[in-house]
């Protein structure tokens, strides 16, 4: 089955494709579709549904993404929630610290978060992923999963070259490694997106009538 993933992030596409191995995962850019919906929701769940519906409507309007009825759409919204920062950056994780047209890169966002957290002894944090599998405007499934960990104590503690985003600064005590130090297989097994993706895979097999 062809499934459209409502994202422009090729890292996310690769992660989901590794989980949903029995399906062809395509993103809007694969079909030359310009896709950048405004995420106006107040939660991960709301933003995931906004993106899923936006891509479904776009597929209907353009006649792409399936013959007649559009192929199923998956969308996710994810981010890092830090307890000591009141859950921030949360849904604004990708835009954390950005002002106007100036957008910080991943390393700058990591540095900003560590600076804001400072010496606070409460380092508890988690990655959250809300994922939507949408078959039509009003027929969809939603799952939400987390990956629990702790923010490293200082910038010098950043470790690992894998993953992306905040992966180098989220420490997993039970493994003694950061998320960025995990292999692709390990990350897909325990990550917030990996766990959500497997639940979605369970919904897809057998395919709903």
Residue among 71, 76, 77, 167 flagged as catalytic: 77
Rounded distance, CA 31 to CA 158, Å? 37
Q: What tokens were used for 170?
A: 């989220």
- Whether 75 contacts 55, CB under 8 Å: yes
Pinpoint the alpha helices (H) of the chain.
10-19, 44-62, 106-117, 184-190, 192-204
Print burial letters for 56-66: b (CB count within 10 Å at least 16), e (below 16).
bebbeeeebbe
| Per-residue CA distances from 4 to 104, 147, 189, 200 (Å) | 28, 25, 22, 13
Backbone angles phi, psi at 41, to 5 degrees: -70, 160
77 is a catalytic site residue: yes
Measured CA angle at 125 (ends 187, 149), to 5 deg: 40
DSSP state of 72: P
Q: Which residues contact 100 (CB under 8 A, 6 or more apart)?
A: none
Tell me the catalytic residues.
77
């Amino acid at each position: 089955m062809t499934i459209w993933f409502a994202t422009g992030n090729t890292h996310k596409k690769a992660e989901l494709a590794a989980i949903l191995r029995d399906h062809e995962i395509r993103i809007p850019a694969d079909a030359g579709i310009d896709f950048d919906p405004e995420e106006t929701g107040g939660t991960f769940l709301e933003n995931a549904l906004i993106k899923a519906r936006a891509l479904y409507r776009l597929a209907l309007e353009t006649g792409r993404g399936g013959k007649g009825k559009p192929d199923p759409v998956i969308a996710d919204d994810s981010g890092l929630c830090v307890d000591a920062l009141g859950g921030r950056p949360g849904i604004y994780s990708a835009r954390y610290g950005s002002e106007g047209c100036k957008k910080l890169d991943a390393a700058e966002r990591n540095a900003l978060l560590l600076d804001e957290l400072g010496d606070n002894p409460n380092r508890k944090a988690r990655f959250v992923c809300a994922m939507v599998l949408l078959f039509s405007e009003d027929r969809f499934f939603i799952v939400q999963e987390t990956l629990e960990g702790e923010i490293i104590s200082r910038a010098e503690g950043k470790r690992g070259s894998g993953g992306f985003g905040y992966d180098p600064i989220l420490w997993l005590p039970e493994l003694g490694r950061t998320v960025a130090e995990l292999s692709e297989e390990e990350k897909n097994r325990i990550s917030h997106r990996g766990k959500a993706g497997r639940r979605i895979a369970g919904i897809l097999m057998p395919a709903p009538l």
